[in-house]
Each structure stands twice: as C-alpha cells, then as structure tokens.
Amino acid sequence: MIVVRLSSGIGNQLFQYAFAVYLRDYYGESVYLEKSSFKYRTAQRRCSIDVISDFPVHSDWRIYTNYPKPICQFYKALFAINPFVKSITDSNLTYPINNKLLYFDGFWQTDFYITQVKNYKGYFQPKEAMPAFLMQYLEDIRLSDSISMHVRRGDYFSDEFSHRYGVCNEEYYQRALDLMMEKADNRTLFVFSDDLDWVKNHLSLPHNTVFIRNEDVYPYWYIYLMSFCKDNIISNSSFSWWGAFLNENSQKKVIAPKSWMVGQEVNIALESWIKI
C-alpha cells in the first residue's frame, strides 16, 4: 500500500498531491492520501484539494500521525520497528518495492515529479463549477491583457516569521510592477492578497487594478483564477507558485523573488521565470 501525507496550506498540499500523482504513475497502482494532519497537527488548516482530487483517503492504525500526542509517540515507535511498514521523507527518498505499507511524508517542492506524468494538467481541473462570484473575475481576466499579483503578508511578516520569510517587501512588488507595465500601461492588474489594505496603502498601482475579494471557498479557486492571467507576479509562496506554474500561456512572463527565504539561496522558482 502506498500512502502520501497531506499537510500545511493549499500550496504545499498541491505539491504533495502532485507527488501522489507521480507515484501512482511510477508504481502503476492505487495511491492513498492521508489527512490526519488537519485533525491532530494543524487544526487551523483544512484539506483543500478535494475540488480536484480523485485519490482515495486512507486511515491506517499503523500510521502514527493518525493520533494525538502522546499516543502519537507510542505509534511512532511501533512504526519504526515494524518490518512491514516504511516511512520515506524528502531527505531519504527511495522507491521501495511495494510489498509493505510505504508512507511518504514530505513537501516535494519541485516541478520535477509532476512533469514526468503525461498530460498532468488534467489532474488540476476542478470537479465542480467555479463559484458564481469568481466567474465574473474569470471573464474579466480572459477579456483583458491581464497580470496577476499575489501579495502574501499575514504570518510571513509576523514577529515570529519575518526574519525567515520576509522577502517580498514593498520594493520587490513595485519593481515587479514596473517591469510588467513598462511597455503597456493599459494592462489590467488582478491583485490576490491576504491583506488588500496593505496593498492599497503601500504600492503605486496602475489605474486598471482589480482587487479579488476573499471568500470562504476552496482556496484552490484563487490559484485556478491566477492561472488564467497572461502574466504572473508571485510571492515567495507555493500558493502563487502554482498559479504561475498552471498558467498555460506559452508566452507568459512570470516574476518571482530571487530569494525564497531570507539569507538562503534555495529557490523553487523555475529557471524560465524572471527573478528580482
């Protein structure tokens, strides 16, 4: 049995889902998703890929993450010594013969796995209709020379995390906008953000700017909406990474930060994207 753990926000869930698609193609058999993280580890998050996923969900008593602490520690110890199960992470990636329970627990933040799958974009098509209020945005995006800009603030600029994630500041977004608008000042900018007030108060925006309002829907809908824009300005977030990656415009221009985390050279932005 092959199981892939889902965790964190929608962007990371999509990397994990993409890896599950790859594993199903690699092994040629069913792959199960495991969702206990949203119950026992990050209750403030929710599993958000149901709108695209057709993978079965599995809850096996042997998987230690299915339990709260301290019970989790007990099952983790059993998992480690059980010869019929194996945990595989980003740092020890192997593809064992599937004669036991294989539990893949990682983030898999790369386009490599999904691009190995033939016709992979079909796996990202929604299984239900887009919410009505987003349909108007979609029509406007399709009819205009559109740019999406994702501005992530929130926890990235909190006292706890700003020293690690505070890369995309006012200067970054303004430079990106200037690059996108330098040859066509009549383009339409569609702003996606968890802090629209900050965007309005700190950036000099083109006169054709549309602010996408936030509603309680599957967050994947916003990624899907971004993917229809002709060009994309992303933040150092897997959320907008996916919006740019799923953009099918063969001439698209994507602007990404040259550093994904403060003081680190690791960057998951694609080679063809412009990094500033």
Q: What is the DSSP string of 16-64?
A: HHHHHHHHHHHHTS--EEE-THHHHT-TTS----TTT----B---TT-G
The model's confidence at residue 22, banded by pLDDT at 50, 70 and 90, is very high
Phi, psi of 124 (to 5 degrees): -110, 10
Helix runs in 68-169, H state only: 71-81, 112-115, 132-143, 162-165
Does 234 or 167 have the greater pLDDT score? 234
Instruction: Report the range of poorest mean pLDDT among 23-32, 41-50, 68-77, 148-157.
Output: 41-50
* Residue indicated by tokens 């967050």: 219
253-260: long-range pairs with CB below 8 Å, 24+: 253/180, 255/176, 255/179, 255/180, 255/231, 257/167, 257/168, 257/172, 259/167, 260/167, 260/236
44-51: average pLDDT: 88
DSSP tag of 125:
S
Cα 6 → chain centroid:
12
CA distance 256 to 275: 5
- Residue 153 tokens, joined: 């603030």
CA distance 240 to 103: 28
Q: Which residues pair with 104 in a beta bridge?
A: 4, 88
- Contact between 14 and 116 (Cβ < 8 Å): no
Mean pLDDT of the chain: 94
Q: For the chain, what is the total number of helices (H) and then of strands (E)?
A: 10, 10
Share above pLDDT 90 across residues of the chain, in percent, rounded to a whole number: 82
Task: Return the pLDDT at 268.
Answer: 95
DSSP tag of 71:
H
pLDDT surpasses 80 at 265: no
58-86: average pLDDT: 91
Quick: pLDDT tens for 111-146.
Answer: 999 999 999 999 999 999 999 999 999 999 999 999
- Contact between 235 and 150 (Cβ < 8 Å): yes
The model's confidence at residue 175, banded by pLDDT at 50, 70 and 90, is very high
Q: Which residues pair with 275 in a beta bridge?
A: 256
- Contact between 153 and 246 (Cβ < 8 Å): no
Longest pairwise C-alpha distance within the chain: 63
pLDDT surpasses 80 at 42: no
* Residue indicated by tokens 């580890």: 41
